[in-house]
Amino acid sequence: MKQTIFTIVALMLLLTLAPLPGLARRNDEAARRRSDSLKAEYIYMEAAALQNAGHNDSYYMLMRHARAIDPANMTVRGELARYNVLMPTVDSTDTEAAYADFQAYFRHNPLATGNAEFLADIARRMGRPDDFVWVWRMVDSASRGRVDPALNLADALVYRSRVTGDSADINEALAILSHLQTMRPGDIQLVHKQLVIKNMSSDTAGMVQLLQELRRQAPANADAQIFIGSVFAELGMTDSALAAIDRAGAIAPDNGRVSLARAELLRYAGDSAAYDAEVFRALESPSLEFDQKFELIGRYVTNLYGDPGYRGRIDSLFRKLIEVNPGEYGVHDFYATYYLEIDSFARAAEQYEYAVELDPTQQSSWHGLLQSRSMSGDTLGIISAARRTLALFPDDAYAALMGGSALSMAGRPGQAVAFIDSLDMENVDNPRGLSYLLTTRSDILASMGQVDSALAGYNRAIELDAENNLALNNAAYFMAENDSDLSRAEVYASIACAAESENPTYIDTYAWVAFKRKQYPRAKELIDRALELYENDAADNNAPDTEGEESTTADEPVRPAETDETGESEIPAEILDHAGDIYFMNGEHLKAVEFWERALAKEPDNAKIRRKVENRTYFFD
């Protein structure tokens, strides 16, 4: 075909204006990548917002979507890897892939906040000491002489040396710390790290050299001298330790920490008189923080409270601490705990009263007050404290239990039940405690003659705690007394006795249930066991204490079992009465009368027992 000049020009214009096919494809791909990158970035921001709101599942799904859209986005890959590497999985391949992704993320920006700490922690958990060291070496290299990364590298090297036993790591760690010491002479933290390393290899001479160097570098630093003294004390070098503490005292005569350090040193040395004097000096120091004083008196009391000879000194210490730091709740609470430990219950209650007045929000102090009032037999005090406790803590089952029991003991059973019922039981998150509270309530109802209500309460208590043996026993007893649901009573009694096979009260209940079921031989077997346990317990309580003495000879009389004012052994009248009934139904009538007579001696006003004795026979109700 013939071409003209116009044809050639037109063709050239077309070539100029029309893009080449390959270039067009490349431009489309770049545009798509930019679009995907923007989408992934947007999804990442949405995911981060969901994570901040606590929606971790949604966060994870969006992050996976973002990575699928833009696999090259290092932030998305790294943050998703952070999540994946901590997920429990049966596929170790997934964990390895996530770990590798986070390594790449860290390598991309080793100084990003938190990345190094996270990767180092994961490396340690996965047992990869080389990676642990690599992380901190990279951060140290990138941070251009900063102290903290170098310290972390030294710690990582020490860790790896413990795993591998490579002394080269130890030497490198010491070299790093020594170099830092030249930059920061007198730095106690750096010396401490070096001491730890020296101690690992039992290099006592090296430790002493470090301490001497610290003394030269920080001659006017009282804290440094105290530190030196404490390390010398741990090394057993008492003279060097005292010298360092004395230097600290000369530098800062009013520094309470000097007295604190000297007191601890004197305690190690066993110089009790000097230790006491230093403790008092420390407590009087205005420069010593209260927490340090409190720690000091805590050590003193813990070490010496068991020795009655020190109790006067301990009282003086507490009074001094209260005088110097008035209004501190913790002192009175600890003072009360001390009195509780040495069975000085009235004084314990007094200190707990001070404590709850200073800080009424401390529930444990209210419990201590209730316990100390109870141990001292202060019924009215228990009632008062329980009412105040429940006013502050409406769901406090312990306060309800103590207050209800005290009201019952005071002969006010109706008020006792009402007090227990004032508890906010719906919010009590303590099934066992609530179970025993309901047991106490049922005991009170039973004493008022409301046995049906009591049994309902016992059953509810057992539902809350199937191992509440007291509820099981008491429910079984009242079922037997009422001749109601005796098969269940037998189950309850058998469970309680199986759990506490040496409890004579529970065994008596089991015997009484068997009696009511007309299982007379079984009842006799059980009541004999209960009587035997009572007799053995009385004999054990009255046995002479022969510890440290020569044993008695065969000619010396054996002390009888403990007896009450009637001369009878300490077996309750009710159990003796049960024994008489059971023996009578087993045909041993004379023995039955003996048991009834013993019971009547204990309860001479019991008309029912008297009738049995006078008529020498059992009476059915």
Reported as a single tens digit per residue, the pLDDT across 400-436 is 999 999 999 999 999 999 999 999 888 888 889 899 9
The pLDDT tens digits of the residues spanning 360-377 come to 999 999 999 999 999 999
Is pLDDT larger for residue 239 or for residue 275? Answer: 239
**Residue 117 and residue 551: Cα distance in Å, rounded?**
69
> pLDDT at residue 542 above 70?
no
Check pLDDT > 90 for residue 35: no
The 10s digit of each residue's pLDDT in 451-488 is 999 999 999 999 999 999 999 999 999 999 999 999 99
101-120 per-position pLDDT tens digit = 888 888 888 888 788 888 88
Which is nearest to 567 in space by CA: 538, 531, 529? 538
Task: Name 569's bridge partners.
Answer: 563
Q: What is the pLDDT of residue 125?
A: 87
Q: Residue 563 carries which DSSP code?
A: B
532 vs 94, more confident: 532
Contact 150, 116 (CB under 8 A): no
pLDDT of residue 130: 93
Q: What pLDDT is attached to residue 544?
A: 54
Task: Give the model's pLDDT for residue 26.
Answer: 61
Residue pair 447/413 in contact by the 8 Å Cβ criterion: yes
In this predicted model, what pLDDT tens digit does every residue of 483-531 receive, in sequence order? 999 999 999 999 999 999 999 999 999 999 999 999 999 999 999 999 9
- pLDDT band, very low/low/confident/very high, at 540 (cuts 50, 70, 90): low
Q: What's the confidence (pLDDT) of residue 598? A: 96
Highest mean pLDDT among 276-285, 323-332, 598-607: 598-607
- Here the tokens at position 401 are 């239990």
Give residue for tokens 């109802």.
445
Instruction: Name the pTM for this structure.
Output: 0.58
Position 39 scores a pLDDT of 79
Sign of CA dihedral 242, 244, 245, 250: positive
Q: Residue 37's pLDDT is what?
A: 74
Instruction: Please indicate whether residue 442 or residue 242 has the higher confidence score (pLDDT).
Output: 442
The residue with greater pLDDT, 388 or 98, is 388
Radius of gyration of the chain (CA): 40
Question: Which residues lie across from 563 on neighbouring strands?
Answer: 569
Nearest Cα neighbor of 272 from 232, 319, 231, 313 is 313
CB count, 10 Å around CB of 135? 29
Question: CA dihedral in degrees (372, 378, 383, 385; nearest 10)?
Answer: -40
Is the predicted pLDDT of residue 538 greater than 50, yes or no?
yes
Position 96: which residue type?
Answer: E
Distance (Å, whole) CA 334 – CA 318: 9
467-539+565-621 and 25-108 share a CATH fold: yes
The per-residue pLDDT for 560 is 32
Q: DSSP of 271-301, one letter per residue? A: -HHHHHHHHHHHHH-TTS-HHHHHHHHHHHH
Which two tokens mark 375? Answer: 């141990």
Which two tokens mark 20? Answer: 């080449």
What would the pLDDT profile of 545-603 be if each residue is shown by its tens digit?
544 443 333 333 333 334 454 445 589 999 999 999 999 999 999 999 999 999 999 99
Greatest distance between any 2 Cα atoms in the chain: 153
In sign, the C-alpha dihedral spanning 389, 393, 395, 398 is negative
Confidence (pLDDT) at 93? 80
CATH topology of domain 467-539+565-621: 1.25.40
Alpha carbon dihedral 564, 568, 569, 571, in 10-degree steps, equals -90
Looking at CATH, the fold of the domain delimited by 25-108 is given as: 1.25.40
Q: Residue 124 pLDDT more than 60?
A: yes
Say if CB 455 and CB 476 are below 8 A apart. no
Give the torsion sign (CA, 461, 462, 467, 473): positive
Helix (H, G, I), strand (E, B) or coil at 258: helix
Domain boundary assignment for the chain = 25-108, 467-539+565-621
Mean pLDDT of the chain: 84
Return the pLDDT at 44. 73
Chain-centre distance of CA 327, in angstroms? Answer: 27
pLDDT tens, residue by residue, 37-59: 787 777 778 877 877 888 777 87
pLDDT tens digits along 186-212: 999 999 999 999 998 889 999 999 999
CA dist 332 and 569 (Å) reads 45
Q: Distance between CA atoms of 39 and 16, rounded to whole angstroms?
A: 35
